[in-house]
Amino acid sequence: MKLLFCGDVVGRAGRRAVCDRVPQLRRHLELDFVVVNGENAAHGFGITPEICREFFQSGVDVVTTGNHAWDRREMLDYIVRENRLLRPLNYPQGAPGLGANVFTANGGRRVMVLQVMGRLFMDPLDDPFAAVERALLDHRLGHSVDCIVVDIHAEATSEKMALGHTLDGRASLVVGTHSHVPTADAHILRGGTAYITDIGMCGDYDSVIGMEKTTAIVRFVSKLPTGRLEPADGDATLCAVYIETDDQTGLARCVAPLRIGGRLAPVWPI
């Protein structure tokens, strides 16, 4: 199976990159499944039903979120109705929507996607490690599902790496999101799980992690309240990670970053 996971989409520039590029990427790479982290897609903060529909129409199969999942209040109702939109699994009991679900990909293959949020330097949610273990009680890679993708939305690289090693051999891909900066450590762990600490963002890199740089710099320099941060709207780089899995075991056969457009040097997985 061939799968692409696109990093955090920031604002209109990131949305353009995803909606313009994903149809081409599905054809050129013969992708079976596409996941996008969309939690910054609505002007940098949250996501809306309309944006979700744009992603799905462009060929995205699943949208994950993160700490900005509830920034747009209309999502509270929409996420209950749309099971292709996921929020972190380790939100307290009673949070609307799903943190994990099983989807059907090309050829009838079953793909489980789940997301957790880290706790180091972030909101003190429930234990992400325990949440993943509970979600995997009823699903085994290569048996009940053909592919398992885990999005850990976290600040700390150590927490992301620890989850990757914890799930090694039991997931197809463990991918870090949230920092908006691509890391250079895409590789296959000893047990066969593909891993990367952070994919990076789909957004304009002439910015401060996707936000217009002048206002962001003033905040750091002055330590005073400023105007609202606005997403940078220049040419965006689409940052993603590509994996191929073994059809029998569901484990990774290869993993590689993909970066196209914008200011970052292009990287192609094949």
Q: Could you give the count of Cα atoms lying within 13 Å of 4 in the half-sphere of its Cβ?
A: 28
Handedness of CA 137, 195, 182, 270 (dihedral sign): negative
The three-state secondary structure class of 64 is strand
Closest CA to 45 of 78, 23, 91, 12: 12
The three-state secondary structure class of 25 is helix
Closest CA to 42 of 208, 203, 218, 193: 203
Closest CA to 191 of 206, 175, 169: 169
- Catalytic site includes residue 68: yes
Closest CA to 258 of 197, 182, 151: 182
Cα–Cα distance, 63 to 110 (Å, whole number): 16
* Annotated catalytic residue within 68, 153, 178, 180: 68
Cα–Cα distance, 99 to 198 (Å, whole number): 19
Cβ-based neighbour number of residue 68 at 10 Å: 20
Q: Just list the catalytic residues.
A: 68
